[in-house]
Amino acid sequence: MAGTRSVTLTLSGHVELAAALAQFDKSVQRGIQRKILAAVGQKNISEIRKRTPRSRITETSEGWSAATRQRRAGNRDALRRSLNKNVSAKWDSSAEMAAKGVLGVTVRHLYPGARGSKGKPIGPHAHLIEHGHVGVFWGQRASVGWVPAYPYFWEGVAAARPQIKSLVKTRGKKIIEDTRKRLAAKLLKKGAKG
């Protein structure tokens, strides 16, 4: 399947950020970490989308039959739209992972039946493009043979990697500052009531 790989993110290079996190209790820390991971996931999606093949640009949609055009009803570039991120709190095994102290983010294409896909087939052909496939056109195997892979997904992940450290630092600082302000406002409101 295109897009299944674990990536580890640590705060070891971010002493200042780790010290700022230590000021909060564990549940608030996890919330901040989830927000940072969501930003990392979004950065990966952004870089993957830049490299995703687009039917409008490649003009593959120009060769679609009338039936295909009607069925897709203008929904081109499904691969770009199908990219999705889920932080570990939304995983099926979230309670089990949280008990182990694992936080993460999944970046993937939504497939029919995947959590969050609502059963709609969005980009179900991603793995064929990512890994290559036998040429099948209009339901018939082609004499062309093998359609080469276009590894846009992992190229996007690789392109995002050098930007992640600075993203964690800048977004982490902003998220921590916003959390401080939110908690201070909550304390003020609680003090005013009590």
pLDDT score at 194: 61
pTM of the model: 0.74
State the angle between helix axes of 152-193 and 26-51 in degrees (0 to 180), rounded to the nearest 10.
150
pLDDT score at 94: 66
pLDDT score at 57: 65
Q: If 0-12 CB within 10 Å is exposed, 13-18 middle and 19+ buried, where does residue 76 land? A: middle
Cβ contacts of 73 within 8 Å, gap of 6 or more = none
pLDDT score at 76: 62
Measured between alpha carbons, how far is residue 60 from residues 51, 142, 150 in Å? Answer: 16, 16, 15
pLDDT score at 112: 58
pLDDT score at 182: 92
pLDDT score at 3: 47
pLDDT score at 93: 65
Torsions phi, psi of 85, nearest 5? -125, 145
pLDDT score at 124: 73
- For residues 147 and 130, the answer to whether their CB atoms sit within 8 Å is no
The ranges assigned to domains in the chain are 17-193
Three-class secondary structure of residue 175 per DSSP: helix
Q: What is the pLDDT of residues 125-146, one digit of tens each?
A: 788 888 888 877 766 676 667 8
Query: What are the start-end ranges of the E strands in the chain?
Result: 83-87, 105-109, 133-137, 140-147
The C-alpha atoms of residue 156 and residue 52 are separated, in whole angstroms, by 9
pLDDT score at 1: 43
Q: Which residues of the chain have pLDDT under 50?
A: 1-4
